[in-house]
Structure 1
Amino acid sequence: MGIVLRQSASNVVITYFGFGIGAVNAMFLYTTFLSKMNYGIVSFLLSAANILMPIMALGAHNSLIRFFAYCKSEEQRERFMSFMLWLPLLLVIPICSVGYIFYDEIAALLAEKPEARHYMWLIAVIGFCMAYFEIFYAWVKVHMKSVFGNLISEVLVRILVTAMLICVHLGIMRQEMFIYCLAAAYGLQLLAMMAYAFKVRMPTFTMVLPDNAKEVLTYSLFIIVSGSVATLLLDFDKVMIPFYTKWDDNAVYSLAIFIATVIAVPSRAMLQIIYPITARLMSEKKMDEVDDLYKKSAITLQVFGGLVMLGIFLNIRQMYLIIPGNYASGTMAVFLIGLSKFYDVILGNNNAIILNTKYYRWALLFGVMTVVLMIGLNMLLIPLYHINGSALATLITVVIYNSVKLFFVVKKLGLYPFTINTLKSFAVILLTFLLFYFWEFPFHPIVNIMLKSVLITVVYVYVNYKLAVSAEINALIDQSLSRLKRG
């Protein structure tokens, strides 16, 4: 776990820095400088592009991580990586052609509300940029160079969005122009990632197929579905909500999702380096090491994720007091989405294990079942409970989907992520929640959030340390304390 913790620590800092910029954008700049309708349209377009991204990538970003470890010679690596670059074009070209020819029909189908119809082509543009960005990001991950790539991933677009929103405020840019420029920001992100990837390893372009091209293509086709599931669970509700209610509700829901998604930041940071390590260990048949990594990643992420979740849940009322506009109706959605994110977090590298075994085709079945369930629940619950219904649909779907995958890994591979420390961690989270939920300071909301967060962190970290819930976190704390004493 040494390289994991070192790169994960850097990734956590970068990811939280990016989320800090994103928080300013989502909670203050979007809510102040954009109308709720335009904020809702932006959320719709980005969510639709996220859904399209795995299809346009044709699973190449996952295949690159999965099969790179099997390339033993330099020639095999060159042929394989060149194959990964042009493989997505097999779907990108047909999708863009169909979109261009039938644009009016598709726009009418996807956006019944006229305000968004003339922006629909941006979905394909942003989706393409996201797809190739993920491919080049995977390119650097397999070379264990995730940190700078993470900086591009988490920070660049958010800084550009901040600048553009300030331009809207200053009257330099109209709100409608901001939506178009958002696509340009994703284009710049792609170019930056591509430049860094080529610096790490310049490809030798060739049309000679790798020896395992058929296996890679088969895997990529299957992985489209499983890769789409995660984005569908996160984004499809923001595509469906405008069909049942107004754009304003989509803005409120998008903000709630952003707040809740912060819970998954430690997981995103750590899994960026754990995924390629898992792929390598699986290819080398080192199942004992995979099991050890599985358990360590699960409990470490549970402790980190639990702290972030408590910080959000215990301060959410004060957060909404300082957010401009009337967005507090998203409070319950934050709790529901937050719980679904936490369940994702505590499973560690569960997805990486499934996708690197011969059973990966089962992901197709899991994915189809999940998508059908999610769409059905959203159609049922959004008309009844509006955005809270969509959040509840997401929670139910995630619980079922993750439970099925967990059972599958336990049953088929004999790997289990939970230990007695898992129960200890749950107990600490519950007791901390009960201790602080009804405790509010009579000060300004910002002061309240700061004081409460400090107290929560001190109590939570101290109890986890004393109970030795995570050996890796305890070792990290001991190292930090030792450096402070020497300093």
Structure 2
Amino acid sequence: MGIVRRQSIQSTVFIYAGFAIGACNVLVLFTHFLSPEQFGLIQLMVNAAALMAALATLGTVPVVNKFFPFYQDYLKPHKNDLPLLVISICLLGFGLFVLAGWLGKSLIIRKFSGNSALFVQYYCWLFPMVFFMLFFALLESFAWGLRKTVLTNVLRETVVRLYGTLLIVLVALHGISVDAFIKLYSGLFAIPVIVVLVVLIRSGQFHLYVGISSVTRRLWKRMLTFSLYVFSSSVFNVFAKTVEIFFISSINGLAQTGVYSIADYIIRVMEVPQRGMASVTTPLLAVHWKNKDYQEIEKLYQKSSATLLIAGLAILGLICTDLPDIQHFLPEKYRGITWVVWILGAGKLMDLGTGVNNQVIQTSHFWKFDFYTNIFFTVVSIVLNYFLVHRFGMIGAAITAALSLTLFNLMRCVFIYLRFRMQPFRWATAGIVLSGIAAFAIAKSIPLPFGNDPQNKVLIYLIDAATRGIVYIGLFGGAVLYFRFSEDVNQLAEKWKHILYQYGQKLMQTLFK
């Protein structure tokens, strides 16, 4: 677990830095220099591109995640034909996407020309966004196999958001128009693609070998079957997680899409530790399944559950504690997201608390079950969104997202238990949840400092947010460390305590030399 902990921590630090930049973009810059319709357009384009990129991979990314260890073990790097094989397939997938996009343009016009006319206007700029997203996802899977997870997380979470910051600052300074901003935003992943490609080539482990290796001859049937199932599964999963954006945009318009996206972005902060954990555990689980090391798989599964639940409760508690203060810094037209945040947060907490069940199933021999659960996830999401978005708007979309995600994870947990007698929960799980609830109740009971003076409103809200957040994290974090709910969290705390102690000693020696 040392590799997982070290790289997860490093990845998490950079991902949080990216989210901090993204929070500045979304909560301050985008909301003040873009209209709700323009911001909604950006979010719709990103979600549509993510779905189209998943389609265009044609199942190559999970194949690399699962089978790359076999190619590394049995082939020399310059004889590895997997890179050229999957790149060729992705180019074919992108070509099919361009053709389908051109043929389906009339349908897009019919569905979005009423409430979301801007999407129709900038529809063609989806294609470069999809291209770069597609090839970053592919190259990232090779980087994961080579244990370069920190690099890809920095590029995906930090560099991409800095690029968005640069563009919106140029809009604010009248350096570029909003029209140019939207067009340049379509190249969001261009720089990460170039950087990862250069790093992979310089590593000496990435070659475009022309030919068919013995490993491909031996495994191609398994790889094909696996890619068909997991490809369909991943597409269904992406579609289920983005479908509410499409429903809101086509039914309620881009303005409400922009407002919903604010709440959705706030909750996506909870995904930070999950992304870092997934990028590190995926190649490790693939190796453990290959070696039939079931004890290590169960250990990863349970430790990921406790660690992610603690992280999720810490973040959700901070968000909900400070949500009234956060909304005061948003323009009036972007407020009214309290219930959406609460509902989405509850669903995401269930997702985190069940650990890396997705990675456990995908890297096992029962990866076909991933396909079936994602079909269920998608069907439930579409049906519930159709009825609830029509009736309740973005609240209905939030209910759908939380409910479908909860059912989806429960199905997976039950399956893993029945097949492998592994389950993610321990007695400590109840203690983590109760500690979070108690800390939240105490933090929320603190009265507003200095009354409600309108002349010092900004200062009051800043102090209020800081006070409640410190109290919540202090109480919850203290309980987690005292009761030792997670071995990894306690070891991390000890490590930072040691680092701070050393720096403190050096500082004292410098001051009193």
Aligned to 1:208: 212
- Distance in 2, matches of 1:429 and 1:154, equals 27
Q: 1:183 deviation in Å?
A: 0.7
Aligned to 2:110: 108
Aligned to 2:453: none
SS at match of 2:384: helix
- Distance in 2, matches of 1:400 and 1:74, equals 42
* Residues 343 and 399, structure 2, Cα contact 8 Å, conserved in 1: yes
* Residues 317 and 440, structure 2, Cα contact 8 Å, conserved in 1: yes
Aligned to 1:144: 147
* Residues 48 and 236, structure 1, Cα contact 8 Å, conserved in 2: no
Greater shift in the superposed pair: 114-123 or 311-320? 114-123
Aligned to 1:374: 381
SS at match of 2:393: helix
- Distance in 1, matches of 2:474 and 2:241, equals 32
Greater shift in the superposed pair: 72-81 or 214-223? 72-81
- Distance in 2, matches of 1:132 and 1:242, equals 27
Q: 1:122 deviation in Å?
A: 2.2
Q: 1:124 deviation in Å?
A: 3.1
- Distance in 1, matches of 2:113 and 2:211, equals 40
Aligned to 1:73: 74
Q: Specify whether residues 169 and 180 from structure 1 end up closer, same or farther in structure 2 by C-alpha distance, changes over 3 A only.
A: same
Aligned to 2:475: 459
- Distance in 1, matches of 2:110 and 2:48, equals 15
Match of residue 411, structure 1, among 394, 415, 418: 418
User: Which deviations, in whole Å up to 9, do the C-alpha atoms of 1:141-191 show, x marking residues without a partner?
Assistant: 111111122111111121111111111112221112211110123223322
Q: 1:110 deviation in Å?
A: 5.2
For structure 2, the residue ranges without an aligned partner over 5 or more in a row are 451-459, 506-513
Q: What does 1:193-272 align with in structure 2 at a 5 Å threshold?
A: 193-200=196-203, 201-208=205-212, 210-211=216-217, 212-272=219-279
- Distance in 2, matches of 1:195 and 1:180, equals 26
SS at match of 2:331: coil
Which amino acid letter does the alignment assign opposite residue 63 of structure 1?
A: V
Give the alignment's TM-score, normalised by structure 2: 0.91
- Distance in 2, matches of 1:476 and 1:374, equals 38
Which amino acid letter does the alignment assign opposite residue 471 of structure 2?
A: L
1:475 aligns with 2:491: yes
Which amino acid letter does the alignment assign opposite residue 323 of structure 2?
A: I
Q: What does 1:8-87 align with in structure 2 at a 5 Å threshold?
A: 8-71=8-71, 72-75=73-76, 78-87=80-89
- Distance in 1, matches of 2:48 and 2:208, equals 34
Aligned to 1:294: 301
Q: 1:105 deviation in Å?
A: 4.2
Q: 1:70 deviation in Å?
A: 2.1
Which amino acid letter does the alignment assign opposite residue 79 of structure 1?
A: D
Q: 1:314 deviation in Å?
A: 0.9
- Distance in 2, matches of 1:284 and 1:350, equals 19
Which amino acid letter does the alignment assign opposite residue 69 of structure 2?
A: A
RMSD: 1.8
Q: 1:111 deviation in Å?
A: 4.9
* Residues 52 and 97, structure 2, Cα contact 8 Å, conserved in 1: no
* Residues 318 and 445, structure 1, Cα contact 8 Å, conserved in 2: yes
- Distance in 2, matches of 1:369 and 1:459, equals 39
Q: 1:228 deviation in Å?
A: 2.4
| Percent pairwise identity | 22
Which amino acid letter does the alignment assign opposite residue 453 of structure 1?
A: G
SS at match of 1:235: helix
SS at match of 2:17: helix
User: Which deviations, in whole Å up to 9, do the C-alpha atoms of 1:294-346 show, x marking residues without a partner?
Assistant: 11111111111211111111111111111234322111111111111111111
Q: 1:281 deviation in Å?
A: 0.5
Aligned to 2:443: 436
- Distance in 1, matches of 2:239 and 2:320, equals 24
User: Which deviations, in whole Å up to 9, do the C-alpha atoms of 1:224-253 show, x marking residues without a partner?
Assistant: 222124422332211110111122111000
Q: Specify whether residues 426 and 158 from structure 1 end up closer, same or farther in structure 2 by C-alpha distance, changes over 3 A only.
A: same
User: Which deviations, in whole Å up to 9, do the C-alpha atoms of 1:93-127 show, x marking residues without a partner?
Assistant: 22212323443444434554432212112223212
User: Which deviations, in whole Å up to 9, do the C-alpha atoms of 1:413-442 show, x marking residues without a partner?
Assistant: 211111111111111111112222233432
* Residues 317 and 436, structure 2, Cα contact 8 Å, conserved in 1: yes
* Residues 27 and 262, structure 2, Cα contact 8 Å, conserved in 1: yes
Which amino acid letter does the alignment assign opposite residue 432 of structure 1?
A: A
Q: 1:80 deviation in Å?
A: 2.2
- Distance in 2, matches of 1:159 and 1:458, equals 31
User: Which deviations, in whole Å up to 9, do the C-alpha atoms of 1:264-293 show, x marking residues without a partner?
Assistant: 211111221111111111111100110011
Q: Specify whether residues 321 and 254 from structure 1 end up closer, same or farther in structure 2 by C-alpha distance, changes over 3 A only.
A: same
Q: Specify whether residues 314 and 230 from structure 1 end up closer, same or farther in structure 2 by C-alpha distance, changes over 3 A only.
A: farther
* Residues 263 and 337, structure 2, Cα contact 8 Å, conserved in 1: yes
Give the alignment's TM-score, normalised by structure 1: 0.96
Larger radius of gyration: 2
- Distance in 1, matches of 2:479 and 2:170, equals 47
- Distance in 2, matches of 1:31 and 1:485, equals 42
